[in-house]
């Protein structure tokens, strides 16, 4: 990994996910009876929102719950089985005003900050991991746009008209998302972008990409751009057909001589790395952790329902009456609550600008991602052969939980960063 000029020790890195505006370049089948997930996801009017409730800072949790019960839960099975984008769920979030959760009130957003984004993603993941992943990338992109984009773009995001995402990962640098190999070449007052992006969530659905490239002229490791998804020269390379998160539309995107104006630059030339570190990293890591926590919460509830609802004919006792089963469920619950507690502490650390905030951000994603694979392994073990069938609902979470560990920054890279931080070393050196 190349040495980065100005690299700092972990306690010196400021985090500004949403509260500081920066200068812009141009100012330019059914589960067992009593299952809590099924019960909470069976609204009076399945597949339709009741009423026209709009989210506010005061009622957004209630509105979110209504969206999840009425739309997200009912759409999750077909999204997973068919591998289709969760359009109805995203439309419902848009209609309820929840896509503007991290946008500032001055542009029509809810101004909920990181804590609101984490709450929304966690709740979505309990019903649909794909929808949670789309929201994670939208909020991560929004955080950048709130810092650097024009008022018009920010207002479009706040109203939900603009669905954002990140286009960072590349085939050549893989999970080292902070070091793009794609280029930006200046031609008069325009810039020509060429790149091979390997995984872009909402690739065929996003309004525009928060795009990374090498700097145009300045020193530094990267520059960020706002690139509309309908630009000539952009190509989404095929639908996503993955193991888990099957509806998140995470496809390769190739840029072949894509021409954008210089005013499309987000921040300063060469300033992309700092924006990734200070803005994107906390938002993405914490929302990713929230998604993992939501998957674990759903797995615990479904596993408990299966254990309580499975009765042996010859003893008339339930699976839950076996001490070994309760042991496994206890381990699932402890892992889930531990990851959740760390995530909540991370939110508090970032919002209060504690000295350990960056360390907590790294720990939250690593801990939640690792715990999720363990919890879902245990869920499959407890539910046994029934877990391999769709109706128990565990195997989808089992597949979805695998994504966090391999999504940059991967769990192994996070362990390295955390180890460096604990040893007093520079993270990027």
The SS3 call for residue 8 is coil
Cβ 48 vs Cβ 70: under 8 Å: yes
Q: Three-class SS of residue 148?
A: helix
pLDDT-based confidence at residue 44 (cuts at 50, 70, 90): very low
* Structural domain spans, the chain: 13-163, 167-269, 273-422
Q: Is the pLDDT of residue 50 over 80?
A: no
* Interatomic CA distance for residues 211 and 168, integer angstroms: 6
Among the listed residues 112, 120, 114, 127, the one whose alpha carbon sits nearest the alpha carbon of residue 80 = 127
Class of 13-163 in CATH: mainly alpha
Please provide the DSSP assignment of 289-323 as one string: HHHHHHHHHHHHHHHHHHHHH-B-TTT--BGGGSH
DSSP assignment of 330-376: HHHHHHHHHHHHHHHHHHHHHHTT-TTHHHHHHHHHHHHHHHHHHHH
* Residue labelled with tokens 């031609």: 187
Span 273-422 CATH architecture: Up-down Bundle (1.20)
Check pLDDT > 50 for residue 237: yes
Please tell me the least confidently modeled range out of 70-74, 131-135, 236-240. 236-240
Q: How far is CA 290 from the centre of its chain?
A: 8
As a whole number of angstroms, the distance between CA 108 and CA 414 comes to 35
Average pLDDT (91-103) is 98
pLDDT > 70? residue 184: yes
Partners of 258 in the β-ladder: 193
Contact 51, 325 (CB under 8 A): no
CA atoms of 244 and 8, how far apart (whole Å)? 36
The 10s digit of each residue's pLDDT in 57-80 is 999 999 999 999 999 999 999 999
Q: What φ, ψ does residue 193 adopt, rounded to 5°?
A: -100, 135
Residue 258 host element (H or E) = strand 251-261
Q: Calculate the average pLDDT of the chain.
A: 89
The pLDDT confidence band at residue 52, using thresholds 50, 70 and 90, is low
Q: What integer is the mean pLDDT of 199-218?
A: 97
DSSP states of 38-94: HHHT--SSTTS-SS-----TTTHHHHHHHHIIIIIHHHHHHHHHHT---HHHHHHHH
Note the pTM of the prediction, 2 decimals: 0.89
For the cut 90, the answer to whether the pLDDT of residue 273 exceeds it is yes
pLDDT of residue 30: 33
Helical (H) or strand (E) element with 422: helix 411-422
Q: What does the alpha-carbon distance between residue 48 and residue 135 come to, in Å, rounded to a whole number?
A: 20
| Residue 311 phi, psi (nearest 5) | -115, 130
Q: Which CATH fold would you assign to the domain 167-269?
A: Butyryl-CoA Dehydrogenase, subunit A; domain 2 (2.40.110)
Q: Quickly count: other Cβ atoms within 10 Å of residue 38's Cβ.
A: 17
Q: For residue 177, what pLDDT is reported? A: 79
- Angle in degrees, 0-180, between the axes of helices 281-309 and 113-127, rounded to the nearest 10: 30
Residue 133, pLDDT above cutoff 60: yes
Based on DSSP, count helices (H) and strands (E) in the chain, helices before strands: 14, 8
Q: Phi and psi of 261, rounded to 5°?
A: -70, 155
Residues 65, 302 contacting (CB under 8 angstroms)? no
Task: Tell me if the bond preceding 409 is cis, omega within 30° of 0.
Answer: yes
CA distance 177 to 168: 5
Q: How far apart are CA 382 and CA 232, in angstroms?
A: 51
Written as six digits, the tokens of 149 are 């984009």
- pLDDT surpasses 50 at 32: no
Q: Which residue shows structure tokens 């091979």?
A: 196
> 127 and 298 in contact (C-beta within 8 Å)?
yes
Q: How many CB atoms lie within 10 A of CB 351?
A: 16
Mean pLDDT value across residues 286-304:
98
Query: Do 111 and 57 meet the contact criterion of CB atoms below 8 Å apart?
Result: yes
């Amino acid at each position: 990994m190349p040495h980065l000029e100005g690299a700092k020790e972990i306690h010196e890195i400021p985090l500004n996910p949403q509260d500081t505006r920066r200068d812009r370049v141009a100012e330019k089948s059914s589960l067992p009876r009593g299952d809590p997930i099924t019960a909470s996801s069976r609204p009076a009017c399945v597949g339709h929102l009741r009423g026209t409730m709009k989210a506010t800072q005061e009622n957004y949790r209630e509105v979110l719950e209504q969206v999840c019960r009425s739309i997200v839960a009912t759409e999750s099975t077909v999204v997973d089985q068919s591998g289709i984008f969760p359009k109805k769920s995203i439309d419902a979030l848009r209609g309820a005003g929840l896509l503007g959760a991290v946008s500032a009130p001055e542009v029509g957003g809810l101004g909920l900050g990181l804590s609101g984004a984490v709450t929304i993603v966690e709740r979505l993941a309990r019903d649909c991991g794909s929808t949670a992943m789309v929201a994670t990338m939208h909020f991560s992109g929004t955080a950048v746009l709130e810092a650097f984009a024009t008022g018009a773009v920010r207002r479009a995001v706040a109203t939900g008209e603009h669905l954002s995402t990140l286009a960072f990962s590349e085939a050549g640098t893989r999970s080292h998302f902070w070091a793009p190999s794609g280029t930006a070449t200046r031609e008069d007052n325009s810039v020509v972008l060429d790149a091979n992006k390997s995984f872009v969530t909402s690739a065929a659905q996003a309004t525009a990409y928060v795009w990374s490239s090498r700097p145009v002229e300045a020193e530094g490791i990267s520059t960020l751009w706002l690139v509309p998804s309908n630009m000539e020269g952009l190509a989404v390379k095929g639908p996503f057909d993955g193991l888990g998160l099957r509806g998140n539309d995470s496809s390769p995107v190739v840029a072949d001589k894509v021409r954008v104006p210089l005013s499309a630059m987000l921040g300063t030339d060469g300033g992309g790395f700092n924006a990734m570190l200070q803005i994107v990293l906390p938002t993405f890591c914490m929302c990713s952790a929230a998604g993992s926590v939501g998957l674990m919460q759903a797995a615990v509830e479904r596993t408990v329902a299966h254990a309580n609802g499975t009765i042996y004919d010859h003893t008339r006792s339930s699976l839950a009456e076996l001490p070994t089963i309760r042991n496994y469920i206890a381990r699932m619950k402890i892992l889930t609550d531990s990851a959740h507690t760390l995530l909540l502490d991370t939110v508090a650390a970032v919002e209060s600008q504690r000295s350990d905030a960056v360390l907590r951000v790294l720990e939250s994603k690593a801990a939640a991602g690792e715990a999720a694979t363990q919890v879902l392994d245990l869920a499959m073990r407890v539910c046994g052969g029934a877990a391999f069938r769709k109706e128990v609902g565990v195997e989808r979470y089992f597949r979805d939980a695998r994504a966090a560990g391999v999504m940059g920054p991967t769990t192994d890279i996070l362990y390295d960063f955390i180890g460096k931080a604990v040893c007093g070393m520079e993270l990027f050196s």
